Structure formats: structure tokens, C-alpha cells
Chain A
Amino acid sequence: MSFAFPTFIESMAAFWTLLVDGRMFVAYVETLKPLVVGVLISASLGIGIGLAIGLSRKFDWLVSPIFVVMQTAPLAALIPLLVMVYGIGLTSKVFVVCIMAMPVIVLNTSGAVRNTPASIIEMGQSFLGTRLDVILKIILPAASPIIFAGLRLGVSAGFIGAILSELKITPTGVGDIITYSRSIADYPSMYAAIFSIILLAVIFLNVLERIEEYLFKGSRQTYVSE
């Protein structure tokens, strides 16, 4: 076996060491800052913009291309530009997280909103629902399963963005453990850090799924029409 591929046991031992000596916690305090801020911005702004795109053709025409570009742009190549404009601090890292997380949230939300069955919208109108009633009580609940699917994808992308920003901008937090361990050939610690981020992402996605189940117990069912 190559020196660069430690055994699973070695990596887990390094993981334990990082936990016990507290380095992991210190690192996550740093890493979670851009991650949490970025994911919160992406989720709230993303759902809002996605809703507007789904409701208005004009807004769709105006704004959609931005997110298609964001989704397809080679992010690693753009990071130096971001750093030139926003420096090496938190702002740039939040941007990286948002660029990773937001497009999929926006595009899923707008698609789901646009695909709300026409008849339940007509139903809302014919029973005298206002525009706001129709959006809050019909369109959003109807779109929520796909919006949540977008959130899950967006959050996973946000995790990648957070680590990418720490590797590419300034080595802090978990990115620092990865970079530093690699530079001193402490590969077990490097893999332990990578493992920790995967573990955190899986736990977070599970929590998100629980929230979704709690909020929309009935809406997982398909539409009832022949």
C-alpha cells in the first residue's frame, strides 16, 4: 500500500485524535460560518427568486440566465476574481457557497411553481382566493416536495463550496486541516477531515428530511385526478 492511502483504521484513529484534542471543533467553528451564512442566504433568497421566476414570465426572462450561468461556470477559475473584488475574508467564502448552492434551489423552485396543476389554481381563484392566498395556500404547498429536493441538493453543493473556498481562498477551518495535513504528509488526518465533512453533510441532510416530513405530512401524496 502506498503511503498516501492509509488504512481505514488509521484514518479513524486520526479522526479520534482530532476530536479529542479539540482541533476538529475549532476548525468547524471557522468552516460553519461561511457554510451556515451561505446556505441560509441561498435558501431564503433562492426560494424567493425561484417563486418569482415561476410566477412571472418577464422575471424568468430577466433572471434565469444568471442562475444557469452560475450553475455551469467553472467556479474554481472564478475564485481569483471574487478574491480580487471581495478580499480573502468571509464575504468571498460566502459567495462561493452561494454560487454552489443557489442555482439548484432557484431552478427547482421555479420549475415546481410553474408545474402547479392548473386546476387547483383555478379552484383557488373561483373560490375567491386572492393572489396571495393562491400563492401561500396552494402554489407553495404544492411545490414544497420539489423545493425541498432542491434544498437538499443545494445544501450538499454548499458543503462542497465551503471546503472549496477554504482550499482555494485562505486555508481556515477544515480546509486548513486538509491542506496542512497533506503538506506534512499526515494523510490519515487529511482523510479524517474529509470524512468528517461527509459525515456532517449526511447528518444535516437527514435533519432536513425530518423537517420536511414534519412540515408536509400529507403533501408527499400524488395528485388525485384521473
Chain B
Amino acid sequence: MNDKTSDIENAVSVHNVYKNYGDVEALRDLSLDFPRGQLTSLLGPSGCGKTTLLKIIAGLLRANSGEITVNGQPVAGPGPDRAFVFQDFALLPWANVIRNVAFGLELRGVDRSEREAIAEKYIGDVGLKGFEKSYPHELSGGMRQRVGLARALSVDSQVLLMDEPFSAVDEQTRRKFQEDLLKLVKNESKTFIFVTHSIEEAVYVSDQVAILLPRPSRVSEIIRPEGFRHKDANSIRRDPEYLDIVDRIWASLRTYVE
């Protein structure tokens, strides 16, 4: 990262983005900034376009109009500055853990010994040491997503895009993941964009929660839960501010839930 890019306050900026699927208007005039080094959640009821927005930032979908910049550079497609964590893990079933984790580097042409060394480090970091030679079908849901996370970390992108990464894992694993994610945000100087439909999860992990309302999607409110950010992981869930924010968000979302 050179000095010029790190001077820009927002790692990712989205301005006046429109997206239509045929006649259906998915996003209308949506603007949102993602501060560097922080975790921003996109929260909203299903069908509100959170994943669409995330995929537009990833360069996997094209907006009909509007401007998306990452480190001041306009997005024209997937780039080395962004890595994606998928809701359904998107692991290659025929590849073992180490090849799956190293797959991002493999596609970038890093040679085998080097990419496996890097992959090994991140496999250790996500707590999967000893499972390098296992295949995805031999792992639990939570472990599979750790593989997906290690793959995204190993390409060392500045921006991590996470599409409901914990929605397919069981509740206990999910809590553990959320605590680990807090540590990750603190330790890595990366910008996280996190899509979720769980209010508690969004408030628990985020520096900034963007609430999206559906049909067509726009940002209705941005909440920055700051009071309990310095507290340790265990006491956040009992913090009065945490509980207040969760209630407030539910109050504004409930009318949109059938």
C-alpha cells in the first residue's frame, strides 16, 4: 500500500449507484462510504439488495450507473484489492484444504511452494492446523467457512467482502466466528464489508451499520455503535447501548417484514 492510497479516508466509496434486473429496480441512487480499517455491515430484510451491492463492489456485477471506487480507483471488475467470502463457502469439492486456501494465489500465478507456505500460515491462523489434507466434505460447516476465510485472507487484499458468511453455520459456531471476527478487525489493517440479515450480529461486529430498505434499495440509516467497541467480546452482548441499538433497528425494520 503506498502513502497516497492510505491517505484516502474511505477505502471504498459508492456514489449514486443504480442497478436494475430487467424491469425490477434493485438499487436506486445508493450512496455509501466505507471507512478504512473498519467493519461496515449491510443490514436489511431479504430482497433489499445487500448482496447485489456487495457483488457490485466486488466487480462481479455491473451497476447500471453510478460510481464505485476502491482506494480512489474506479471499479471495472474484480481486483487484487478485494477478496470475497461466500455464503455457501464456494469450496472446490475435489481439492483438499490446502489447495482450496491457496487457490486464490494459484489463480494469480504464485508458484506452488510459495503459495502453500502462505496457505499453511493462514490455515493455522483460522485454527485448522492438521486439516491441510482433508477434503471439504470431511469438514463441518463452520470449518468449511474457516477455509473460505483463510482463502480470502491469503491473497492479502485490503478489502474483505463477506456475503452472509456465518448464515450457513450453527449458532454456537456463529458466536465463536463473531468473536474471532472482532479480533481480526482489530489485528488486521483491513476494511471489512459484511452482509448480514441478523440485527444482533450486525451490531455486535460492526463499527458502522448501514440499514438498507427494500424495493428499491436505498440506505435508510447509518448507525455507528461506538460506546462498547472497546469492551471485551464477552460483555458486549450485555451492554445497554448494544441492546438499545438492536431494539431501535428492529423497530425500524419490522414494518418491512411480512
CB pair B60–A122 under 8 Å, yes or no, is yes
Q: Mark A185-226, 1 if CB is under 8 A from B, else 0.
A: 000000000000000000000000000000011110111111
Q: Which A residues touch B55, using CB under 8 A?
A: 122
B78 partner, pick from A120, A128, A222, beta carbons under 8 A:
A128
Contacts A119-B90, A218-B95 given: A127-B168 contact, CB under 8 Å? no
Does residue B96 face the partner (Cβ distance < 8 Å to A)? yes
Is the pair A128, B80 in contact by a Cβ cutoff of 8 Å?
yes
- A residues within 8 A CB of B50? none
Q: Is the interface of A mostly helix, strand, loop or mixed?
A: loop
Interface size bucket, A side?
Answer: 20 to 34
A48: Cβ under 8 A from any B Cβ = no
Cβ–Cβ contact B144 & A123, under 8 A: no
* Interchain CA distance A165-B90 in the complex, whole Å: 47
Would you call B84 and A120 a contact (CB within 8 A)? no
Number of A-B contacts (CB under 8 A): 84
CB distance from B120 to the nearest CB of A (A): 18
Closest chain A residue to B78, Cβ basis: A126
How far, in whole Å, are A117 and B84 apart by their CA atoms in the complex? 16
Q: How far is the CA of A185 from the CA of B83 in the complex (A)?
A: 74
Residues of B contacting A138 with CB < 8 Å? Answer: 92
Supposing A125-B60, A126-B60 touch, asked if A221 and B90 sit within 8 A by C-beta, the answer is no
A40 to chain B, nearest CB (A): 26
Q: Are A218 and B135 in contact (CB under 8 A)?
A: yes
CB-CB < 8 A to A216: which residues of B? 94
**A residues less than 8 Å from B87 (CB atoms):** 119
Whether B96 pairs with A225 at a CB distance below 8 angstroms is no
Cβ-based interface call for B112 (8 A): no
B→A interface (CB under 8 Å): 55, 58-60, 78-80, 82-84, 86-96, 103-104, 106-108, 135-137, 139, 141, 144, 151, 155, 168
11 new A-B contacts at CB < 8 Å, known A221-B136, A222-B93, A224-B139? A117-B88, A119-B87, A122-B90, A123-B86, A126-B84, A128-B79, A128-B108, A218-B96, A218-B135, A219-B94, A224-B89
